[in-house]
Chains A and B, each alone.
Chain A
Amino acid sequence: MEVKIRVNDKTYERDVEPRTFLVDFLREEIGLTGTNVGCDTTQCGACTVHMDGASVKSCTVLAVQADGASVTTIEGLARNGDLHPMQQAFTDAHGLQCGFCTPGMIMAAVKLVESNPDMDEFAIRHGLEGNLCRCTGYENIVKAVATAGRFGAWDVEEAAHRITVRGSGPERSGR
Chain B
Amino acid sequence: MTATQRAFGASVRRLEDPRLITGRGRYTDNFSRPGMSHMVVVRSPYAHAKIKGIDMSAAEGMPGVVAVYTGADMAAAGFGGIPCAWVVPDSDTKTPQHPPIAIDKVRYVGDAVAIVLAESEAQARDAAYAVEVDYETLGVVVDGKAAIEEGAPLLHDDVPGNLCFHWTVSGGDLDAAFAAADVVVTDSIRNQRLIPTAMEPRAALAEWEGAMQQVTLWVTSQNPHIVRFLLSLDTGIPEHKIRVVAPDVGGGFGSKIPHYPEDSMVIFASQQLNRPVKWTETRSENYLATTHGRDHHSEVEMAAKSDGTILGMRAKTWANLGAYLSTASTGVPTILHGLMLSGAYNIPAIHEDVYGVFTNTTPIDAYRGAGRPEATFMLERMVDLVARRLGMDPVEIRRKNLIEPFTEGHEVATGLVYDTGNYEPALDKALGIFGYDTARVGQAEARSKGRLIGIGVVTYTEICGLGPSEVAGAVGFGGGLWESAIVRFHPSGKVNLMVGVSPHGQGEATTFAQIISDQLGVAVEDVEVIYGDTDQTPMGWGTYGSRTTPVASGAIMGAIKHLKEKGTKIAAHLLEAAVEDVEFKDGLFSVKGSPEGGMTIQDIALAANTAWNMPPDVEPGFEASSFFNPANFVYPFGTHIAQVEVDPETGEIDLQRYVAVDDCGPIINPMIVEGQIHGGIAQGVAQVLWEGAHYDDQGNLMSGSLMDYAIPKAEFFPRFELGKTETPTPVNPLGVKGVGETGTIASTPTVYNAVMDALAPLGVTKIDMPLTPERVWRAISEAKEGGS
Cα–Cα, bound, A135→B707 (Å): 19
CB-defined interface of B6-27 with A at 8 Å, one 1/0 digit per residue?
0000010110111011111101
B759 CB–A CB distance under 8 Å: no
Cα–Cα, bound, A83→B675 (Å): 22
Select A101's contact among B122, B199, B656, B672, beta carbons within 8 Å. Answer: B199
Q: In the complex, are the beta carbons of B657 and A168 less than 8 A apart? A: yes
Q: In the complex, are the beta carbons of A168 and B647 less than 8 A apart? A: no
CB-defined interface of B668-688 with A at 8 Å, one 1/0 digit per residue?
000110110011111100000
Query: Looking across the interface, which residue of chain B has its beta carbon closest to that of A124?
Result: B714
Cα–Cα, bound, A82→B502 (Å): 30
- Which B residues are CB-close (under 8 A) to A98? 198-200, 248-251, 504-505
Size category of the A interface is 35 or more
Interface stretch of the complex, out of A50-58, A62-70, A125-133: A125-133
Q: In the complex, are the beta carbons of A91 and B200 less than 8 A apart? A: no
B95 CB–A CB distance under 8 Å: no
- Which B residues are CB-close (under 8 A) to A113? none
B720 CB–A CB distance under 8 Å: yes
A118 CB–B CB distance under 8 Å: no
Select B506's contact among A32, A39, A97, beta carbons within 8 Å. Answer: A97
Q: In the complex, are the beta carbons of A125 and B21 less than 8 A apart? A: no
Q: In the complex, are the beta carbons of A128 and B23 less than 8 A apart? A: no
A77 to chain B, nearest CB (A): 8
Cα–Cα, bound, A34→B13 (Å): 21
- Which A residues are CB-close (under 8 A) to B672? 94
B135 CB–A CB distance under 8 Å: no
A15 CB–B CB distance under 8 Å: no
A136 CB–B CB distance under 8 Å: yes
- Which A residues are CB-close (under 8 A) to B61? none
Select B25's contact among A34, A138, A165, beta carbons within 8 Å. Answer: A34
Cα–Cα, bound, A81→B408 (Å): 54
Residue in A43, A96, A137 whose Cβ sees the most chain B Cβ within 10 Å: A137
Contact residues of B between 675 and 731, Cβ < 8 Å to A: 675, 678-683, 705-707, 711, 713-720
B234 CB–A CB distance under 8 Å: no
Query: Looking across the interface, which residue of chain B has its beta carbon closest to that of A139?
Result: B678
Q: In the complex, are the beta carbons of B249 and A96 less than 8 A apart? A: no
CB-defined interface of A119-161 with B at 8 Å, one 1/0 digit per residue?
0011011101101111111111110000000000000000000
Q: In the complex, are the beta carbons of A36 and B22 less than 8 A apart? A: no
A18 to chain B, nearest CB (A): 11
Select B678's contact among A19, A37, A125, A140, beta carbons within 8 Å. Answer: A140
A71 CB–B CB distance under 8 Å: no
- Which B residues are CB-close (under 8 A) to A46? 199
Q: In the complex, are the beta carbons of A38 and B283 less than 8 A apart? A: yes
Cα–Cα, bound, A141→B683 (Å): 16
Select A75's contact among B23, B505, B654, B707, beta carbons within 8 Å. Answer: B23
Query: Looking across the interface, which residue of chain B has its beta carbon closest to that of A160?
Result: B719
Q: In the complex, are the beta carbons of B714 and A39 less than 8 A apart? A: no
Cα–Cα, bound, A107→B443 (Å): 42
Q: In the complex, are the beta carbons of A129 and B713 less than 8 A apart? A: yes
Query: Looking across the interface, which residue of chain A has its beta carbon closest to that of B282?
Result: A40
Cα–Cα, bound, A142→B718 (Å): 11
- Which A residues are CB-close (under 8 A) to B250? 36, 38, 98-101
B82 CB–A CB distance under 8 Å: no
Contact residues of A between 78 and 92, Cβ < 8 Å to B: 78, 83, 87, 90-92
Q: In the complex, are the beta carbons of B678 and A137 less than 8 A apart? A: yes
Query: Looking across the interface, which residue of chain A has its beta carbon closest to that of B368?
Result: A134
Q: In the complex, are the beta carbons of A122 and B715 less than 8 A apart? A: yes
Query: Looking across the interface, which residue of chain A has its beta carbon closest to that of B286?
Result: A39
Contact residues of B between 381 and 405, Cβ < 8 Å to A: none
- Which B residues are CB-close (under 8 A) to A132? 199, 706, 711, 713
B271 CB–A CB distance under 8 Å: no
Q: In the complex, are the beta carbons of A90 and B21 less than 8 A apart? A: yes
A134-B198, A170-B652, A173-B654 given; A99·B16 CB < 8 A = yes
Contact residues of A between 23 and 42, Cβ < 8 Å to B: 27, 32-41
Cα–Cα, bound, A19→B122 (Å): 10
Q: In the complex, are the beta carbons of A35 and B23 less than 8 A apart? A: yes
B197 CB–A CB distance under 8 Å: yes
Residue in B199, B655, B682, B705 whose Cβ sees the most chain A Cβ within 10 Å: B199
Query: Looking across the interface, which residue of chain B has its beta carbon closest to that of A96?
Result: B20
Query: Looking across the interface, which residue of chain B has its beta carbon closest to that of A121?
Result: B719
Select A102's contact among B20, B197, B657, B707, beta carbons within 8 Å. Answer: B20
- Which A residues are CB-close (under 8 A) to B719? 121, 139, 142, 165
Cα–Cα, bound, A66→B21 (Å): 24
Cα–Cα, bound, A44→B251 (Å): 14
A113 to chain B, nearest CB (A): 14
Q: What is the interface of chain A, defined by CB distance below 8 A to chain B?
A: 17, 19, 27, 32-41, 43-44, 46, 73-75, 77-78, 83, 87, 90-92, 94, 96-103, 106, 121-122, 124-126, 128-129, 131-142, 165, 168-170, 172-175
Apart from A102-B21, A129-B713: 8 A-B pairs, beta carbons within 8 A: A33-B23, A34-B25, A38-B201, A43-B705, A77-B22, A125-B715, A133-B199, A135-B679
Q: What is the interface of chain B, defined by CB distance below 8 A to chain A?
A: 11, 13-14, 16-18, 20-25, 27, 29-30, 122, 197-201, 248-251, 253, 282-284, 504-507, 645, 647, 652-657, 671-672, 674-675, 678-683, 705-707, 711, 713-720, 743
Query: Which 8 A-B pairs have CB atoms at the shortest separation, nearest pair first?
Result: A34-B23, A100-B250, A98-B505, A99-B20, A137-B682, A74-B23, A137-B678, A43-B706
Between A and B, 16 residue pairs with Cβ closer than 8 Å are: A19-B122, A33-B30, A36-B25, A41-B707, A91-B21, A94-B14, A97-B507, A98-B198, A99-B20, A125-B717, A129-B715, A138-B714, A139-B719, A142-B714, A142-B719, A173-B652
